[in-house]
């Protein structure tokens, strides 16, 4: 069959071949510019026990399980975020920490979460530390609360090996209300 002097099967074959090259090029770009270097960097990092990378979305999701004896959640998170930033460059990503929690640690967080989220607005972080410590003590756990300009870090540990790591973004209340919901940030 011909269409204005062109053979339709050849045109379709060229179109399919062009799509295969485009998608193959995109896959190779992702694999060799981001996936493999990030896999290598995370596999070699002493803070990382396990990790999973999902780049199938507009914002890459990097899920990391930290080693059990992590001393300072804030510095570990910042170090990992910097490492991922170096590999990913300007590509957007979200870093999520995976915990090895149990019901009692979840209860500690639940008992404290109202104060934590209230502190996002009021900035009353000493109250957060006191409330988390009180709730952790009731469950036989240890707690650490860290705060920097971007996040609130809640680190709960028990002697039986269970731990809970929560990183809660601090949001400027005025910015949140003026923009109607916040901003997408690189690296969480």
Express each pLDDT in 139-160 by its tens digit.
999 999 999 999 999 999 999 9
The pTM for the full model equals 0.73
As to burial, measured by CB atoms within 10 angstroms (0-12 exposed, 13-18 middle, 19+ buried), residue 93 is buried
Express each pLDDT in 70-89 by its tens digit.
999 999 999 999 999 888 87
Q: How far is CA 38 from CA 29, 85, 95, in A?
A: 13, 10, 13
């Amino acid at each position: 069959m011909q269409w204005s002097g062109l053979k339709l099967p050849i045109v379709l074959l060229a179109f399919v071949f062009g799509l295969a090259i485009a998608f193959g090029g995109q896959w190779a770009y992702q694999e060799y510019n981001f996936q493999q270097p990030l896999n290598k960097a995370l596999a070699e990092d002493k803070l990382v026990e396990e990790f999973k990378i999902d780049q199938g979305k507009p914002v890459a999701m990097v899920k990391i399980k930290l080693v059990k004896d992590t001393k300072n959640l804030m510095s570990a998170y910042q170090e990992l975020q910097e490492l991922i930033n170096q590999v990913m460059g300007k590509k957007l990503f979200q870093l999520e920490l995976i915990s090895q929690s149990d019901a009692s640690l979840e209860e500690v967080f639940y008992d404290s979460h109202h104060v934590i989220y209230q502190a996002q607005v009021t900035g009353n972080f000493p109250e957060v530390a006191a409330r988390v410590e009180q709730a952790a003590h009731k469950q036989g756990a240890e707690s650490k609360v860290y705060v920097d300009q971007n996040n609130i870090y809640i680190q709960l540990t028990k002697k039986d090996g269970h731990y809970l790591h929560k990183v809660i973004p601090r949001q400027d209340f005025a910015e949140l209300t003026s923009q109607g919901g916040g901003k997408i940030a690189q690296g969480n």
